[in-house]
């Protein structure tokens, strides 16, 4: 029977003020010989001459305090590539098109890439899927403290915080998977006049990004955090600033996009910018009365609807989840019905956006679904999955469960550092299966592969 235990919130949760995406990664990547060859999958010649591959995709898995990154094929549960990175303790994520593994190192100002080996090309007349063994590429980016990596509709923005000690200003790199393939060296599209812990949200020909003002003018109590939002518009090959909104967002941290909105977390609420196709109309939703010292520091959105999910927290408090109904301009609390001593570890949307999941430190995955209540969209508890039978009190020091959402199917993959396994949770029926058994302790995981466009269009 699974035992429960109480973890310090400071140990299990990154305070949302300084939080998610604030991590490290690597420089040069030296490939080791793959232990297993890449597996060929059947190619389907669909309508219109499309050449497609039906694959569950691949998982890239890092090991704690190690330079090892292993890539596994999910169709055969086999290791297809193993790589070493220059710096241990990598932070990994997928590129905007899910072909590449993006490895960022904040401390050393470096971003590297691994080709996951599965991708799709649009040849106009037809779609063509490709498969090869994972491989390192020479392309990398040198910057100053790359931190938040945001992906939206095929675009990836890397926000480089800069460094006051070296008088290095903040900047933004913008990349597509095609840019990575072509080793695009001029991907820095925005530079600022000071350093800041910021974020950039790419949206078509626009980038909405944070703005830090002079300390004497800023409304942020933590001056490294910005308090305004600006819109940059693409003109030719360059991005030019269109506007800095007057509406302030003190202690800005956290951002996400929905169908028609870009949202930013503020100390006093949530800042919303509505996209009307040419301009953005801004508004603000105030914090709920029961927040106390909490603030929304993490936001999650999906392109299929306008109801975002926010996580309100502060050091030493239990996080609160809220629905942010951007269309109605309303915020409401979510009762996710946590088990005793459960603290959230990670969150994510299913590929179609119908389900939002909460991974907690007690070994449960909670599923939320949306519904209309008095004309407002709310997210509510739907079910809970017990995905491990391990004694969670034996979690290795400094480790936790890790979550990534498949972009091929309604599946959540969870790393279990106690059992050294990766489990797959079917979000439709709650079935739990062991996807991978490992001979090392897993840290972070990222899904790579060909996105299910039918789910994407849902």
What are the pLDDT digits (tens) for 328-352? 999 999 999 999 999 999 999 999 9
User: What is the reported pLDDT for 292?
Assistant: 94
Distance, CA of 300 to CA of 261 (rounded, Å): 12
User: What is the reported pLDDT for 94?
Assistant: 99
User: What is the reported pLDDT for 45?
Assistant: 54
User: What is the reported pLDDT for 454?
Assistant: 67
SS (H, E, C) the chain: CCCCCCCCHHHHCCCCCCCCCCCCCCCCEEEECCCCCCCCCCEEECHHHCEEECCCCEEEEECCCCCEEEEEECCCCEEEEEEEECCCCCEEEECCCCCEEEEEECCCCEEEEEECCEEEEECCCCEEEEECCCEECCCCEECCCEEEEEEECCEEEEEECCEHHHCECCEEEEECHHHHHCCCCCCEEEECCCCCCCCEEEECCEEEEEECCCCCCCCCCCCCCCCEEEEEEEECCEEEEEEECCCCCCCCCCEEECCCEEEEEECCEEEEEEECCCCEEEEEEECCHHHCCCEEEEEECCCCCCEEEEEEECCCCCCEEEEEECCCCEEEEECCCCCCCCCEEEEEECCCCCCEEEEECCCEEEEEEEEEECCEEEEEEEEEEECCCCCHHHCCCCCCCEEEECCCCCEEEEEECCCCEEEEEECCCCCEEEEEECCCCCCCEEEECCCCHHHHCC
For 350-363, give one letter per residue: b (16+ CB within 10 A) or e: bbbbbbbbbbbbbb
For the entire predicted model, the pTM comes to 0.89
Distance, CA of 115 to CA of 122 (rounded, Å): 18
In this structure, of 17-21, 96-100, 195-199, 317-321, the range with the lowest mean pLDDT score is 17-21
| Mean pLDDT comparison of 9-23, 76-90, 343-357, highest-scoring range | 343-357
pLDDT digits (tens, 9 = 90+) for 366-398: 999 988 888 878 899 999 999 999 999 999 999
Model confidence at 47, pLDDT cuts 50, 70, 90, reads low
Mean pLDDT for 23-35 is 37
User: What is the reported pLDDT for 41?
Assistant: 52
Domains of the chain in start order, with CATH, are 15-334 (2.130.10)
Average pLDDT score, the chain:
90
Q: Which residue has the higher pLDDT, 67 or 268?
A: 268
N residues, the chain: 458
pLDDT digits (tens, 9 = 90+) for 390-432: 999 999 999 999 999 999 999 999 999 999 999 999 999 999 9
Model confidence at 456, pLDDT cuts 50, 70, 90, reads very low
In this predicted structure, the answer to whether residue 48 has a pLDDT above a threshold of 90 is: no
Is the torsion defined by CA of 30, 33, 34, 38 positive or negative?
positive
Mean pLDDT for 165-170 is 98
In this predicted structure, the answer to whether residue 40 has a pLDDT above a threshold of 70 is: no
| Pairing of the two strands 376-386 and 402-405 | unpaired
The answer to whether residues 430 and 415 touch, using CB atoms and an 8 Å cutoff, is no
pLDDT digits (tens, 9 = 90+) for 117-150: 999 998 888 899 999 999 999 999 999 999 999 9
The answer to whether residues 359 and 368 touch, using CB atoms and an 8 Å cutoff, is no
User: What is the reported pLDDT for 129?
Assistant: 95
The answer to whether residues 332 and 376 touch, using CB atoms and an 8 Å cutoff, is yes
- Within 10 Å of residue 369's Cβ, how many Cβ atoms? 14
């Amino acid at each position: 029977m699974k035992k429960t235990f109480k973890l310090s919130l400071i140990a299990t949760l990154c305070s949302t003020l300084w939080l998610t995406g604030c991590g490290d990664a690597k420089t040069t990547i030296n490939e080791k010989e793959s232990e297993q060859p890449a597996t060929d999958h059947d190619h389907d010649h669909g309508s219109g001459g499309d050449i497609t591959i039906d694959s569950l995709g691949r998982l890239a898995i890092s090991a704690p305090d190690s330079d090892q990154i292993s890539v596994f094929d999910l169709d055969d549960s086999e290791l297809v590539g193993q790589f070493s990175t220059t710096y241990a303790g990598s932070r990994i994520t997928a590129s905007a098109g899910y072909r590449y593994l993006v490895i960022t190192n904040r401390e050393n100002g470096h971003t590297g890439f691994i080709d996951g080996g599965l991708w799709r090309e649009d040849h106009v007349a037809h779609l063509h899927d490709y498969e090869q063994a994972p491989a390192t590429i020479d392309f990398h980016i040198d910057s100053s403290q790359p931190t938040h990596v945001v992906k939206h509709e095929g675009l990836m923005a890397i926000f480089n915080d800069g460094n006051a000690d070296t008088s290095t200003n903040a900047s933004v790199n913008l990349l597509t998977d095609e840019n990575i393939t072509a080793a695009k060296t001029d991907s820095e599209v925005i530079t600022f006049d000071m350093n800041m812990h910021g974020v950039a949200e790419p949206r078509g020909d626009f980038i909405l990004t944070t703005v830090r003002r002079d300390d004497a003018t800023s409304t942020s109590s933590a001056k490294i955090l910005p308090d305004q939002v600006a819109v940059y518009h693409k003109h030719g090959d360059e991005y030019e600033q269109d506007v800095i909104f007057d509406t302030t967002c003190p202690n800005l941290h956290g951002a996400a996009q929905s169908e028609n909105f870009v949202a930013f977390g503020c100390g006093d609420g949530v800042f919303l910018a509505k996209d009307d196709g040419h301009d953005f109309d801004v508004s603000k939703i105030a914090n709920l009365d029961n927040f106390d010292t909490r603030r929304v520091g993490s936001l999650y959105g999906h392109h299929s609807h306008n109801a975002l999910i926010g996580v309100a927290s502060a050091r030493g408090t239990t996080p609160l989840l809220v629905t942010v109904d951007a269309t109605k301009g309303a915020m409401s609390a979510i009762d996710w019905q946590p088990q005793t001593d459960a603290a959230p570890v990670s969150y994510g949307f299913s590929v179609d956006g119908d389900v939002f999941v909460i991974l907690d430190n007690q070994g449960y995955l909670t599923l939320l679904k949306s519904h209309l209540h008095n004309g407002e969209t709310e997210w509510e508890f739907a079910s809970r999955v017990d995905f491990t039978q391990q004694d969670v009190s034996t979690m290795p020091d400094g480790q936790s469960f890790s979550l990534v959402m498949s972009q091929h199917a309604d599946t959540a993959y969870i790393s279990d550092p106690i059992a050294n396994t990766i489990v797959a949770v079917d979000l439709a029926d709650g079935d739990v299966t062991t996807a991978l058994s490992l001979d090392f302790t897993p840290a972070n995981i990222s899904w790579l592969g060909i996105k299910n466009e039918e789910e994407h269009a849902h």
